[in-house]
């Protein structure tokens, strides 16, 4: 195969360097073959998957420790990239050292001993060393074993802090003995890589292992064909890996990382586009042809007119449903944007085409709320949705399941119990998934298999209130078409957010009380259920409720809702608040979704720095839902600058999409919005906040590549295709379409 051949040739052309004392020796091939692990002289592509044990200096213990962090073979080691570099410079002459600087010297050891000290805990090792220009003392603290390990006559490199007064001495920070196996300077000279390490397998050992693997790195298989490399001007994979591990300048790792990130994003985009293509070309769905019979009744019954945004999205969905190919659409819109109506219209279209629709939600509370809403929306058309959750008593549940199986229940709302409980549908045509980010790509596919009536898959509409930045949408949801309802429906009130500090607490309570006196209601949100949770001093709902009802809110009716209550108790508390029987609801994030009390106008959030930005935005969306504007009072004393930036953003913008972008900038995507999911969308090299441009490029190139070679079977694409299959192990037939 061509890429292997070039790397072999290049390796061969460079003269193997036998002497380990030459810094920066290109490929220590001779060294690799000199020890007990005799190897052929020329590394080839097959070497990439050789076990780590073939490397000199890697015994059984090291192999086990490496395996514990997922490093089994040369290729995996070569892809274990440094997280940063120590910027050391090249070795200097002792005579040239200046007082106070940090420097590397290259010396011979003359003598070494442990120096007695008065302090029992302190052990100092002192050595005399020299080079051609002079001699100096070197000291190590608390590494007494060095007095035994190092021998007079050892050739060494030492990095440390130089002092010329009161006596000439170097306090060692790093050192290495030359000729002991590793290349000279690996720990002490130039840009020294720092690898993600463990206690068992320190960065120093990893550095030596990578150094031993150096001859193999140029044999890294090349995934990207020449046409792609040329188009985005990227180095070869081998060059990129060499530059990451053995950089000659600070710029090298930057372009190398860009190459590895691009490749990772490309593989992901190829897979995601292939998933979508597979759905849209290879699988059949029931075409839900709109007759208008039911949808028109639902529309006429609406207590409001749809906004332009809702109309636009509803039309997109209606068109998708009418096709004989499964719809895979993600509908984004922040809390209260009006997604449910769009879902209701889609359900109505399914029913008028003679199919069933299922609405899947993550929690029981949300299921019940959706049932009420859909019941109202669909009533004008004479459709009564049924609820199926784990809470429904057994006999009743069986009755409902029967109605689903015979098709007399056209619309079903339920939790995941609906899918795992073995509920059979008569003719399932549409699945709506609310808050879909809890499902990964593979789970999405499994959902669709419920389709009946000869179709391969049901249409799927995912709805999420968590605004997803475009970059993230392209990765985590790259297999979906994305629609967004921006802005809020008419009539929805502004929410003024204020960041309040502890010394304004009394004033904040008075603000809340004045709303309550005017007949409105309020929420107090706490991060913890009860005191002592998570061993912090953050406020807890249980204690706050007790404190408030005895103190600042003694004249009001205070309710309490949190996740540790029995479901009935929690439901009762929420119902009492919804009915206006309590004025103030002290709660945890259980109210984040699934409670709609138009009379609630104020929310006070405690320890807001303990919530994510998206979560805070979602929470405050619970107020301002009626005729009066909302107020959100946020208590927080963030400990970090990022924490301050997030709160400032929350106060300044009410646009969830803007907030999501800001969140991505501040936090990186690793933990963004609790969206962490495992599977093919995990990124190792790429950072979405930094690689937006590469992502867009990868998306474009992936489309071109799949157009030219749909199965990625041309020789130049074969390795890329293999990488895609490996990234999507649960979809083995992904590229067969």
Q: Give the nearer residue to ligand ADP in terms of CB position, either 336 or 710.
A: 336
Query: Whole-number minimum distance, CB 617 to ligand ADP, in Å?
Result: 12
Residues 659-688 contacting ligand ADP, CB under 6 A: none
Q: Toward ligand ADP, which CB reaches closer, 78 or 345?
A: 345
Sites for ligand ADP among residues 14-73 (CB under 6 A): none
Q: How many CB atoms lie within 10 A of CB 141?
A: 11
Residue 415 beta carbon to ligand ADP: minimum distance, rounded to whole angstroms:
17
| Closest CB to ligand ADP among residues 225, 338 | 338
Question: In which element (H, E) is residue 127 found?
Answer: strand 124-131
Binding mask 460-489 for ligand ADP (x = CB under 6 A): -----x-----------------------x
- Binding of ligand ADP by 380 (CB under 6 A): no
| Smallest distance from ligand ADP to CB 376, Å | 8
Residues 427-466 that bind ligand ADP (CB under 6 A): 465
Which residue in 271, 263, 285 sits closest to 353, CA to CA? 285
Give CB contacts under 8 A, 24+ apart, made by 65-69: 65/198, 65/200, 65/201, 66/201, 66/209, 68/198, 68/200, 68/201, 69/196, 69/198, 69/201
297-336 residues near ligand ADP, rule: CB under 6 A: 304, 306-307, 310, 333, 335-336
Please identify, using beta-carbon distances, which residue of 78 and 473 lies nearer to ligand ADP.
473
C-alpha to C-alpha distance for 214 and 439, rounded to whole angstroms: 41
Closest to ligand ADP by CB, 425 vs 523, is 523
Please name which of 415, 73, 273, 105 lies closest in space to residue 700, comparing C-alpha atoms.
273
The SS3 assignment for 93 reads coil
Task: Please choose, out of 110-118, 338-346, 382-390, 517-525, the segment that lies near ligand ADP by the rule CB under 6 A.
Answer: 338-346
- The residues, ordered by sequence, that sit 6+ positions from 470 with a Cβ below 8 Å of its Cβ are none
Alpha-carbon distances of 222 from 48, 265, 461, 646, 715, rounded to whole Å: 11, 15, 39, 41, 12
Cα–Cα distance between 177 and 179 in angstroms, integer? 7
- 79/655 with CB nearer ligand ADP: 655
Q: Residue 625 in contact with residue 596, Cβ under 8 Å?
A: yes
| Nearest approach, Cβ of residue 591 and ligand ADP (Å) | 14
- Tell me: does residue 145 bind ligand ADP (CB under 6 A): no
- Report the residue number, 310 or 356, with the smaller CB distance to ligand ADP: 310
Closest distance between ligand ADP and the C-beta of residue 462, in Å? 13
Q: Which of 106, 339, 610, 617 binds ligand ADP (CB under 6 A)?
A: 339
In eight-state DSSP terms, residue 307 is P
Q: Cβ of residue 598: shortest distance to ligand ADP, in angstroms?
A: 8
Q: Determine the size of the site formed for ligand ADP (CB under 6 A).
A: 16
CB of 312 to ligand ADP, least distance (A): 12
The CB-of-372 to ligand ADP minimum distance in angstroms stands at 11
Q: Taking CB under 6 A as the rule, does residue 340 contact ligand ADP? A: yes
Burial of 557 (C-beta count, 10 Å sphere; 0-12/13-18/19+): middle
CA distance 124 to 139: 7
For ligand ADP, which is the closer residue by CB, 401 or 592?
A: 592
C-beta of 565 vs 618, nearer to ligand ADP: 618
Beta strands in 411-553 (DSSP E): 411-414, 428-434, 459-464, 481-485, 495-500, 521-525
The site for ligand ADP (CB under 6 A) is made up of 304, 306-307, 310, 333, 335-341, 465, 489-491
């Amino acid at each position: 195969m061509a890429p292997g051949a070039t790397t072999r040739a290049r390796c061969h052309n460079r003269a193997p360097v036998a002497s380990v004392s030459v810094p920066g020796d290109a490929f220590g091939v001779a060294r690799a073959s000199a020890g007990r692990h005799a190897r052929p002289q020329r590394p080839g592509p097959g070497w990439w998957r050789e076990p780590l044990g073939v490397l000199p200096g890697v015994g059984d213990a090291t192999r086990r420790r490496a395996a514990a962090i997922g490093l089994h073979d040369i290729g995996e080691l070569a892809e274990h990239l440094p997280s940063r570099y120590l910027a050391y410079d090249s070795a200097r002459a002792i005579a040239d050292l200046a007082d106070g600087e940090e420097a590397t010297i290259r010396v011979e050891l003359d003598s070494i001993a442990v120096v007695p000290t008065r302090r029992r805990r302190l052990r100092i090792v002192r050595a005399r060393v020299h080079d051609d220009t002079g001699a100096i003392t070197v000291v190590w603290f608390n590494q007494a074993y060095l007095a035994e390990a190092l021998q007079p006559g050892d050739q060494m490199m030492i990095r440390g802090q130089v002092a010329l007064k009161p006596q000439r001495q170097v306090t060692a920070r790093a050192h290495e003995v030359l000729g002991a196996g590793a290349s000279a300077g690996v720990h002490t000279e130039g840009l020294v890589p720092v690898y993600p390490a463990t206690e068992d397998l320190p960065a120093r050992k990893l550095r030596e292992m990578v150094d031993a693997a150096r001859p193999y790195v140029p044999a890294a298989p090349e995934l990207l064909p020449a046409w792609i490399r040329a188009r985005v001007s990227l180095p070869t994979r081998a060059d990129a890996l060499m530059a990451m591990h053995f950089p000659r300048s600070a710029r090298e790792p930057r372009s190398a990382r860009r190459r590895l990130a691009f490749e990772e994003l490309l593989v992901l985009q190829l897979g995601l586009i292939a998933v979508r293509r597979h759905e849209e070309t290879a699988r059949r769905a029931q075409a839900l042809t709109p007759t208008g019979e039911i949808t028109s009744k639902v529309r006429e019954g609406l207590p409001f007119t749809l906004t332009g945004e809702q109309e636009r999205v509803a039309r997109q969905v209606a068109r998708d449903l009418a096709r004989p190919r499964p719809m895979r659409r993600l509908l984004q819109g922040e809390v209260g944007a009006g997604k449910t109506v769009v879902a209701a219209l889609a359900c109505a279209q399914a029913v008028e085409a003679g199919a069933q629709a299922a609405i899947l939600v993550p929690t029981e509370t949300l299921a019940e709320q959706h049932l009420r809403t859909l019941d109202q929306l669909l009533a004008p058309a004479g459709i009564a949705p049924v609820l199926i959750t784990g809470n429904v008593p057994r006999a009743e549940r069986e009755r409902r399941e029967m109605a689903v199986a015979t098709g007399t229940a056209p619309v079903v709302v339920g939790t995941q119990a609906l899918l795992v409980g073995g509920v059979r549908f008569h003719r399932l045509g549409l699945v709506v998934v609310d808050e879909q980010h809890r499902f990964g790509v593979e789970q999405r596919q499994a959902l669709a298999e419920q389709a009946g009536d000869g179709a391969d898959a049901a249409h799927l509409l995912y709805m999420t209130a968590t605004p997803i930045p475009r970059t993230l949408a392209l990765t985590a949801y790259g297999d979906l078409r994305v629609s967004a309802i921006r802005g809020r429906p008419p009539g929805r009130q502004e929410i003024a957010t204020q960041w309040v500090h502890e010394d304004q607490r009394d004033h904040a309570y008075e603000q809340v009380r004045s709303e309550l006196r005017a007949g409105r209601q309020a929420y107090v949100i706490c991060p913890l259920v009860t005191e002592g949770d998570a061993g912090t001093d953050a406020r807890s709902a249980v204690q706050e409720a007790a404190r408030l009802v005895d103190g600042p809110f003694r004249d009001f009716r205070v309710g309490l809702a949190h996740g540790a209550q029995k479901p009935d108790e929690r439901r009762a508390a929420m119902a009492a608040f919804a009915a206006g029987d309590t004025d103030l609801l002290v709660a945890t994030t259980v109210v984040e979704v699934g409670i709609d009390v138009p009379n609630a106008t104020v929310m006070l959030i405690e320890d807001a720095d303990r919530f994510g930005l998206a979560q805070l935005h979602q929470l405050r969306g619970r107020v301002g839902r009626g005729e009066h504007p909302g107020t959100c009072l946020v208590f927080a004393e963030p400990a970090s600058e990022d924490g301050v930036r997030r709160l400032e953003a929350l106060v300044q913008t009410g646009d969830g999409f803007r907030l999501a972008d800001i969140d991505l900038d501040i936090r990186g995507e690793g933990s963004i919005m609790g969206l962490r999911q495992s599977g093919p969308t995990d990124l190792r090299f790429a950072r979405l906040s930094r690689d937006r441009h590469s992502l867009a490029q990868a998306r474009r190139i992936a489309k071109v590549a799949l157009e030219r070679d749909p199965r990625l079977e041309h020789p130049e694409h074969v390795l890329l295709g293999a990488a895609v299959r490996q990234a999507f192990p649960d979809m083995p037939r992904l590229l067969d379409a």
